[in-house]
């Protein structure tokens, strides 16, 4: 058997096993039976035993990682990982589009629309098709080297191969690591059975899993990676749009979830409204959508302001809300010695977080608003940090809560 044919067989089996691993561990939706999976695995192992000289670096028959790290090393990003400005209303979105159009007069502008995942942004470096480094976003200028951990993510290609395009000498891919809903629920079921603490939401679970010093722990967590862009490509792939680059990455085994190209900002608004309705049925947690000028040349013309690009914006979803009940009011002593009343709520899962406590600020506020045990409250999550509860107390009054830490 020629060595090219052996390697090709190995690559096909590795990619097929990775696909089935992702379906089973991450999505909790097995795509083949256990016996069929075992057959593929043993087929690969037998091929490796016959031809050990051709064993691939990303083979699932090898254990990933060695000794646990004592700490993560810092890495400076060659291309900074900047943040996006947020908009929350249609008027703010239209204002963003107007600024773009003013800087690009008489030009046709298309927008690439993507899901805004509730995960962690990372950067992946490939040299001659081999994954050599994975780095967290950090502060945008400097991140942490999490290479051993990203190598355990089942749907992330460790060696690039394509029948359609040449492998770049250097490729830096940006994307999001997250834990899909099914994998998150499955993980919490297992943690509960073992009497261990469950994760509050998929983002916390993904962050905690990705930043384990022992990559063997990360390996057992149902993480997934979705690409959202190319930061560097040498030689240049000569693709001039965001959407084109996302489609190009698919040829090398990257997943990038759904994205859409729209001809004007009004179509982006319609997609936003559609996603709000579809959000509960998606397999992943999202907190909005990202809108980018699709043309890379136009992006260069627009440039940056402060630490954010002028050519992109995050359009955040309105707060998700649910109703619960105050079942008790306790007092807790803060770090400064001040007593603060805290409402104990019937636990409610909202916006990816389970809420069971809310501060009532002070005794004067309780008397002013006539807060009582048994009152109904509307709980909602706003933004990426913390939870706000703009709560209707029965039919008597309105009360603003902050989550009690």
Of the listed 19, 63, 108, 116, which one is catalytic? 116
CB 380 within 8 A of CB 351: yes
Place of tokens 């051993």: 148
Quick one: which of 344, 342, 350 has its CA closest to 322? 350
Q: Please list, in sequence order, all residues whose beta carbon lies within 8 angstroms of the beta carbon of residue 73, skipping any fewer than 6 positions away.
A: 144, 145
- The secondary element (H helix, E strand) that includes residue 369 is helix 363-369
Q: How far is CA 135 from CA 58, 124, 257, 372, in A?
A: 18, 7, 21, 49
Residue 287 contacts residue 385 (beta carbons within 8 Å)? no
- Give dist(CA 233, CA 272) in Å, integer: 31
Strand order in the sheet with 312-316: 86-87, 312-316, 286-293, 111-117, 259-262
**Residue 116 appears among annotated catalytic residues:** yes
Residue 221 near residue 186 (C-beta atoms within 8 A)? no
Write the CB contacts of 26 (distance below 8 Å, at least 6 apart in sequence): 154, 155, 179, 180, 182, 183, 222, 223, 224
Q: Is the peptide bond before 235 cis (omega within 30 degrees of 0)?
A: yes
d(Cα 90, Cα 266) in Å, to the nearest integer? 9
The answer to whether the CB of 78 falls within 8 A of the CB of 133 is no
Helix axes 34-50, 3-21, angle to 10 degrees: 150
How many angstroms separate the CA atoms of 48 and 42, rounded? 10
Catalytic residue IDs: 116
């Amino acid at each position: 058997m020629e060595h090219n044919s052996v390697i090709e067989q190995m690559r096909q089996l590795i990619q097929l096993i990775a696909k089935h691993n992702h379906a089973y561990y991450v999505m909790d939706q097995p795509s083949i039976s256990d016996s069929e999976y075992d057959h593929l695995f043993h087929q690969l192992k037998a091929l490796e035993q016959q031809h050990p000289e051709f064993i691939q670096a990303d083979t699932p028959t090898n254990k990933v990682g060695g000794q646990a790290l004592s700490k993560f090393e810092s890495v400076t990003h060659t291309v900074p990982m900047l943040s996006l400005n947020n908009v929350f209303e249609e008027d703010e979105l239209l204002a963003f589009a107007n600024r773009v159009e003013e800087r690009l007069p008489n030009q046709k502008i298309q927008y690439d629309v993507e899901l805004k995942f509730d995960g962690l942004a990372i950067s992946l470096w490939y040299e001659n098709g081999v994954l050599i480094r994975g780095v967290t976003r950090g502060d945008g200028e400097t991140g942490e080297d999490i290479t051993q951990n990203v190598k355990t993510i089942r749907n992330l290609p460790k060696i690039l191969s394509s029948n359609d395009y040449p492998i770049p000498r250097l490729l830096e891919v940006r994307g999001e690591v997250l834990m899909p809903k099914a994998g998150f629920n499955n993980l919490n079921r297992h943690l509960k059975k073992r009497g261990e603490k469950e994760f509050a939401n998929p983002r916390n679970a993904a962050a905690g899993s990705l930043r384990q010093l022992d990559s063997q722990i990360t390996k057992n967590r149902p993480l997934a990676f979705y690409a959202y862009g190319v930061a560097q490509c040498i030689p240049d792939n000569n693709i001039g749009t965001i959407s084109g680059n996302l489609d190009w990455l698919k040829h090398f085994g990257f997943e990038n979830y759904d994205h859409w190209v729209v001809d004007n900002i009004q179509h982006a608004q319609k997609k936003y409204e559609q996603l709000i309705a579809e959000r509960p049925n998606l397999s992943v947690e999202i907190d909005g959508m990202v809108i980018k000028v699709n043309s890379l040349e136009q992006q260069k013309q627009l440039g940056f302001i402060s630490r954010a690009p002028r050519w992109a914006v995050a359009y955040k979803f309105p707060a998700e809300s649910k109703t619960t009940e105050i079942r008790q009011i306790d007092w807790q002593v803060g770090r400064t010695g001040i007593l603060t009343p805290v409402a104990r709520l019937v636990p409610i899962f909202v916006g990816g977080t389970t809420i069971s406590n809310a501060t009532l600020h002070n005794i004067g506020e309780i008397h002013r608003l006539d807060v009582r045990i048994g009152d109904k409250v509307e709980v909602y999550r706003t933004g990426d940090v913390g939870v706000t509860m703009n709560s209707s107390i029965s039919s008597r009054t309105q009360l603003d809560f902050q989550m009690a830490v």
